[in-house]
Amino acid sequence: MRPLPVGDPGDPDVRSATRYLLWLAARTWPSLLAAMGFATLWLVSQALIPATVGRAIDAGLSARDRDGLLRWGAVLFGLGLVTGVSGVLRHRMAAFNYLSAIYRTVQLTVQQANRIGATLPKRLSTGEVVSIGTSDINHIGGALDITARGTGSLVAVVTVAVILLTTSVPLGLVVVVGVPVMMLIAGALIKPLQRRQQVYRDQEGKLTTRAGDLVAGLRVLRGVGGEATFAGRYRAESQDLRSAGVRVARIESLLAASEILLPGMFLVLVTWLGARFALRGEITAGELVALYGYAAFLVSPLRQLTEAIDRLTRGHVAARRVVRMFTLVPEFTSPAAPVTAPRGPLVDAESGLTVQPGRLTAIAAREPGDAAAIADRLGRFADGRVTLSGVPLADLDLADLRRRILLADNDARLFAGPLRAELDPAGKGDRPVADALDAASAVDVVDALPDGLDALVAERGREFSGGQQQRLRLARALVADPETLVLVEPTSAVDAHTEARIAARLGAARAGRTTVVCTTSPLVLDQADEVNFVADGRVVAAGTHRDLLRRRPDYAAAVTREEDQ
């Protein structure tokens, strides 16, 4: 078996949930067929044991044939040996198929999340993504796992039916007719189960998202007195989810009961008929014992067939959610024939902004949202008529554009792992990292850590304060050293002294490269080569910070408001 996960998960078939499951099965067809083969051998060898015991009884008791008894005893020993070996191999192959489906789905999910980028949170809630990465992958893996036992169980039931038909036609017909009837009864529960599971999954995803929002905004909610309101809303939605879970559990309990009741009733019927045939002398004593053995044995494959229906249904529901994520397309893609653009002015026609190369340009907006919208257009995270050296950004290769123009805002996150790798994922070396930390006034943050740059960062960098996180994110952006760096409010969470140090060092750290800073901080604006004042989404004035303070009272009001706050 190959090691997991595989290097390349492949290109999935996302036309439907069924096609995706079949695609997963096709990716592991050697082990899948092997698992089916071993499961069939495992269950068929068990199915042959009652017949062997019956033959041994007839040979030893009825015919007094010692050689026949030994011969059938040896056959029984061989069947036990085959059952044990094939059972172990079946389990190993089934576990491989289960893990292969899980790992492949996780790999594809991560690839899709990276591919669609900022589109993902706009189209799918956080809770839905979490549900895919936790419960759904297990159900998809379970669907591939059960195929082996389901196939083996079906073959075993057919084998028993053939043996019983050769022994007694009525008994064989009971099996031939009874098994499909039981499957139809169990199948009648599948549709409502599938529907209720889908509703439950959707509600679970929404509630997980709301829980994440509550935790992330708890401090703000307490500040405005909204904690009780949102907690009450969460409590109500939690109860709705509980009710949906109870509705799912009702169908699941009926399905679980049918796994016991229907095979049990079948066992009673076959045993009763067999006993009557034995009393009439239509079957031998050994055949009667074998019949009891078959009746007991059939409980297991019949239950596994019912379980197969249940797991395949769960897997189909889960695959439907995964396929929905896989069919999302990014808002922005590379053109069919991308062109190149030399370094030059970056122009946003919608706002009238022109960013000259190699300069530190500031955008001060009367409404902060206007500056953020311009930044999104400059980084091509929003539609706009933006050109680089006269070439529309839409005509450039998107991957190359992302390397050349980096947008760093306060929605960026710190990831878990070593701090050195967090700040320098490209491995540029300690010198660039040290220079960036100095420019971002974050040296003290690293020095306070016991292991310095080798310290492990927790998820989202929660061990750091808001200001420390902001400085580390700025350092990370400076280490990347793109041709154009667009910063959105890079000093909003730091104190005035730290902000002054950052403002004084930023220009030198970015000397010779293009830098755009969206801010209303006078300390940062005073260091800019040019400040563009934006009102109602348009650049209404441009110049140095001090010049605009003299000429534009509305500009002075906007930036001094920052000082007052």
Query: Is pTM, for the whole model, over 0.95?
Result: no
- The CATH number covering residue 431 comes to 3.40.50.300
Residue 535 and residue 485 share a domain: yes
Residue 519 and residue 420 share a domain: yes
Residue 401 and residue 264 share a domain: no
Query: Within a domain: residue 272?
Result: yes
Q: What angle do CA 90, 93, 95 make, to 5 degrees?
A: 105
- The CATH number covering residue 79 comes to 1.20.1560.10
Residue 465 and residue 372 share a domain: yes
Query: Within a domain: residue 332?
Result: no
Relative to beta strand 530-535, strand 405-408 is: unpaired
Query: Within a domain: residue 10?
Result: no
Residue 375 and residue 240 share a domain: no
Amino acid at 14: V
Residue 371 and residue 320 share a domain: no
**Nearest Cα to 146, choosing from 23, 254, 36, 34?**
36
Residue 303 and residue 376 share a domain: no
Query: Within a domain: residue 56?
Result: yes
Contact 58, 103 (CB under 8 A): no
Contact 480, 426 (CB under 8 A): yes
Helix (H) or strand (E) holding 514: strand 514-518
Q: State the DSSP code for 414.
A: P
Residue 183 and residue 68 share a domain: yes
Place of tokens 């039931």: 157
Contact 339, 194 (CB under 8 A): no
Contact 149, 304 (CB under 8 A): yes
Domain count, the chain: 2
Helix (H) or strand (E) holding 531: strand 530-535
Residue 386 and residue 242 share a domain: no
Query: Within a domain: residue 237?
Result: yes
The dihedral formed by the CA atoms of 224, 225, 226 and 232, expressed in degrees to the nearest 10: 170
Q: Which domain holds residue 120?
A: 17-326
**Nearest Cα to 287, choosing from 154, 155, 166?**
166
Residue 253 and residue 155 share a domain: yes
In 3-state terms, the chain is what percent helix, strand and coil (to 5)? 70, 10, 20
Residue 316 and residue 358 share a domain: no
- Residue 481, Cβ density class (10 Å: 0-12 exposed, 13-18 middle, ≥19 buried): middle
Task: Provide Rg for the chain, Cα atoms.
Answer: 34
Query: Within a domain: residue 213?
Result: yes
Relative to beta strand 386-388, strand 391-392 is: antiparallel
Q: What angle do CA 104, 255, 258 make, to 5 degrees?
A: 130
Amino acid at 130: V
pLDDT tens for the chain, 565 residues: list them. 578 888 888 899 999 999 999 999 999 999 999 999 999 999 989 888 888 887 777 776 666 777 777 888 888 899 899 999 999 999 999 999 999 999 999 999 988 888 887 777 777 766 677 778 878 899 999 999 999 999 998 898 888 878 877 777 776 677 667 767 766 776 676 667 667 766 776 677 666 666 665 555 555 445 555 566 667 777 887 888 788 778 778 877 877 777 677 767 777 777 787 777 777 777 776 777 777 777 777 777 877 887 888 788 889 888 998 998 888 888 888 888 999 999 999 999 999 999 999 999 999 999 989 999 999 999 998 889 999 999 999 999 998 999 999 999 887 888 888 999 999 998 898 899 999 999 999 999 999 998 899 998 887 788 888 899 999 999 999 999 999 999 999 998 899 999 999 999 999 999 999 999 999 999 999 999 999 999 999 999 999 999 999 999 999 998 875 444 4
Residue 217 and residue 68 share a domain: yes
For residue 248, what are the contacts with CB-CB under 8 A and spacing of at least 6? 193, 196, 197, 200
280, 295, 326: which is the final residue of a domain?
Answer: 326
270, 298, 326: which is the final residue of a domain?
Answer: 326
Query: Within a domain: residue 11?
Result: no
Query: Within a domain: residue 362?
Result: yes
